[in-house]
Amino acid sequence: MAKIMIQGTGSSVGKSILVAALCRIFTQDGYSVCPFKSQNMSLNSYITLDGKEMGRAQVLQAYAAGLQPEAYMNPILLKPTSDKKCQIIVNGKVYGNSTAMEYHNMKLQFRDMLKEQFEEMEKKFDIIVMEGAGSPAEINLRDRDIVNMGMAEIVDAPVLLAGDIDKGGVFASLAGTMVLFNEEEKKRVKGTIINKFRGDVEILKPGLTMLEDIIKIPCLGVIPYFHLALEDEDGAVEFNKRVTAPIDIAVVKLPHISNFTDLDSLKSEEDVSVRFIETVEEFGNPDLVIIPGSKNTIEDLLKLRKSGIEAYIKEYSKDGLVIGICGGYQMLGKIIKDPYGVETEVPEVEAMGLLDIDTVFEEEKVTTRVKAESIREFDVYKDEASTEKRKIDVYGYEIHMGICTYGEKARPLFKIIDKNGEEVCLQDGAVNNEENIMGSYIHGVFDGVHFREYVLNKIRSKKGMKTKKSYIYENLREKELDKLADIIRQNMNMKSIYNIMGMKK
């Protein structure tokens, strides 16, 4: 079994996408491959087929390797709830809540578990592609590290060190990182990668030669700056604020925004612009307002109220289209209660009152994969000249503590027919009588072609645009992963990487 680890000089240098690329390349070359990140900090999470929670970055990497995502690919997930506190997910289940110091003091207790799980993976796969987190040169964390050099040491993995030249200072960051490594750590680094390069590589080459002379490690690739319709790692997401296409979708950028990957399928539509708003001045006149998920729904709602955005949404909702997902769905209701202090010390707050639902936070988190269908039939695209009425299918996953109850004026939006592979018949979401305000607990609700197509064609018709069919998002993702693999193959010394892993190709 072979392994390779991508570490970076800092956050957002492109580690996640480089791991995804290597997973796809090794898979194309005929090997069984698995991604692995021992500890991830992210508010973008995903629910596996067996109802476990994991980071979204490893989900994309699993798809790149032709695998179904599994929690063992990301054994520890940290979900920040404030600047100093987080929820700890271990092997897909809630382990507890802690402060940063409390978690720092408990990290070493996970070392044996991580080693055992990795050894089990080694029995199943030809190659494991590992990802570090943040910077491996955080010398104050070295003695308790379980995600960068500490994890590489546990499993004896060679390391490639990536730097982001688009930020500037890439030579200093690579050389500086090497200076802060101890001698054993320096020996693990077998190559560097310059990522996100714009310009003529010939101009860069003298710098590469000088860097190699300084750190005595070869540069194995200069990766050009590119844009593909693939999920970004959390810290690398660019929250666009401009209208760039005919359909203007404004997403409220909540302070504790989570699972904003729900929007990626909308971004893939050619005539759709997804922008993020944080102030009333940025609101404009959008065709759709989306309130996304939140890791702290009550606090985020109160901040929307204080900023004036809530008042704008309520006024806009008289004629405009508003959709809430998970925490955003809860905000659209009448009241939110947190009797057990699950998210905040505020026990109860009045919500926006746009949907006739009440939410109560329970102590147990709901984590399920679901399939659902609309309660009623919608006008769905048939061809350029016509539509047909039929129920629409959706699929995705639930991650929430809240339970909603319906008032007299609330109608459920979907009927869940499958939860984690078991047949059920449950209500989800809500819609008002005018059908311009909707909400759902289902993350990924736009990934399925039918609901996305319905919502966008509703907007297109209102704007006098031609209606059209939407892409099957999964097919687009596969094509983009192949494009990613092609870019990395062309600009990375893959022969050297195979040699570093002790393999020939």
Question: What is the tally of helices (H) and strands (E) in the chain?
Answer: 15, 28
Vertex 234: Cα angle to 28 and 490 (nearest 5): 30
Cβ–Cβ under 8 Å, residues 159 and 149: yes
Q: Is there a catalytic annotation at residue 86?
A: no
Q: Which helix (H) or strand (E) holds 379?
A: strand 378-383
What are the two backbone dihedrals, phi and then psi, of residue 2, each rounded to the nearest 5 degrees? -110, 160
Q: Is there a catalytic annotation at residue 404?
A: no
Q: Please tell me which residue in 256, 400, 443, 450 is annotated as part of the active site.
A: 443
Cβ–Cβ under 8 Å, residues 299 and 256: yes
What are the two backbone dihedrals, phi and then psi, of residue 427, each rounded to the nearest 5 degrees? -85, 145
Token pair of 140, please?
């104050």
Instruction: Name 337's bridge partners.
Output: 348, 360
Q: Please tell me which residue in 23, 34, 219, 326 is annotated as part of the active site.
A: 326
Closest by CA position to 36, among listed 113, 153, 118:
118
Q: For strand 53-55 and strand 45-47, is the pairing parallel, antiparallel, or unpaired?
A: antiparallel
Residue 383 CA to its chain's centroid (Å): 33
Alpha carbons 193 and 461: distance in angstroms, whole number:
48
CA torsion sign for 352, 358, 363, 367 is: negative
- Catalytic residues, by residue number, are 326, 443
